[in-house]
């Protein structure tokens, strides 16, 4: 089984991934893939540069390129896999074309901003205004090479709302696993 994970910033994609890893899934990370590419290009590791590089790779090699690379690794290695941080429609289509499922995680925007503020990773150090601006920019692209989280969520096989506890989130994940959705 291959599952692609999408969702809004700070919604709990990583929490779902950690849960699936405990269930024996192998993790493939778009963020890690892009970090390697940023290093190759000598670019600072921040959210804006990740977006620029991701868009450049998709524009150059095709809208599903990043997911193609990670899904190919998953297929080669066998077993259950989760590909974290699918951001474009082309990537989502690539996961589904491989027979995989797309899952989405969402939560209230203030809850999500609170989460990213607490984790304080290099790519999460932004004001609430920038957080909202970044999200709006990723929500409505019609270009399949660019981020379109809203449409990915709308077309996901399962959507988890994560405003509560981890246990409540994990209950939603278990139901989706049992359904095969």
Plot region of 62 (φ>0 → left; ψ -120 to 50 → alpha; else → beta): left
Within a domain: 170: no
Within a domain: 165: no
H or E element in which residue 103 lies: strand 101-106
Within a domain: 178: no
Write the pLDDT tens digit of every residue in 63-105. 999 999 999 999 999 989 999 999 999 999 999 999 999 999 9
Measure the CA–CA gap between 2 and 96, rounded to whole angstroms.
9
Tell me the HSE value of 23 on the side-chain side, using a 13 A CA sphere. Answer: 17
Within a domain: 154: yes
Within a domain: 179: no
- Read off the pTM: 0.89
Write the pLDDT tens digit of every residue in 14-61. 999 999 999 999 999 999 999 999 999 999 988 889 999 999 999 999
Within a domain: 171: no
Going from the C-alpha of 40 to that of each of 35, 53, 79, 138, the distances in angstroms are 9, 11, 30, 25
Measure the CA–CA gap between 142 and 157, rounded to whole angstroms.
21
Q: Which domain holds residue 148?
A: 2-159
Q: Given CA atoms 12, 89, 159, 126 in this order, what sign does their dihedral have? A: positive
Within a domain: 177: no
Cα–chain center distance at 121: 16
Please give the tally of structural domains in the chain.
1
CATH code of the domain in which 151 resides: 3.40.50.300
Of 82, 74, 102, 79, the closest CA to residue 90 belongs to 102
Within a domain: 17: yes
């Amino acid at each position: 089984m291959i599952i692609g994970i999408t969702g809004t910033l700070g919604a709990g994609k990583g929490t779902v991934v950690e849960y699936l890893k405990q269930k024996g899934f192998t993790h493939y990370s778009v963020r890690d893939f892009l970090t390697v590419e940023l290093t190759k290009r000598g670019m600072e590791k921040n959210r804006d540069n990740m977006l620029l590089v991701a868009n450049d790779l998709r524009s150059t090699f095709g809208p599903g390129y990043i997911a193609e690379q990670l899904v190919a690794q998953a297929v080669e290695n066998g077993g259950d896999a989760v590909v974290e941080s699918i951001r474009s429609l082309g990537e989502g289509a690539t996961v589904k074309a491989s027979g995989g499922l797309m899952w989405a995680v969402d939560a209230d925007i203030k809850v999500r901003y609170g989460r990213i503020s607490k984790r304080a990773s290099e790519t999460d150090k932004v004001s609430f205004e920038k957080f909202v601006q970044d999200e709006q920019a990723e929500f409505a692209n019609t270009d399949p090479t660019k981020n379109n989280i809203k449409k990915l969520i709308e077309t996901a096989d399962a959507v988890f709302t994560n405003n509560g506890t981890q246990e409540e989130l994990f209950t939603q994940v278990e139901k989706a696993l049992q359904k095969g959705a």
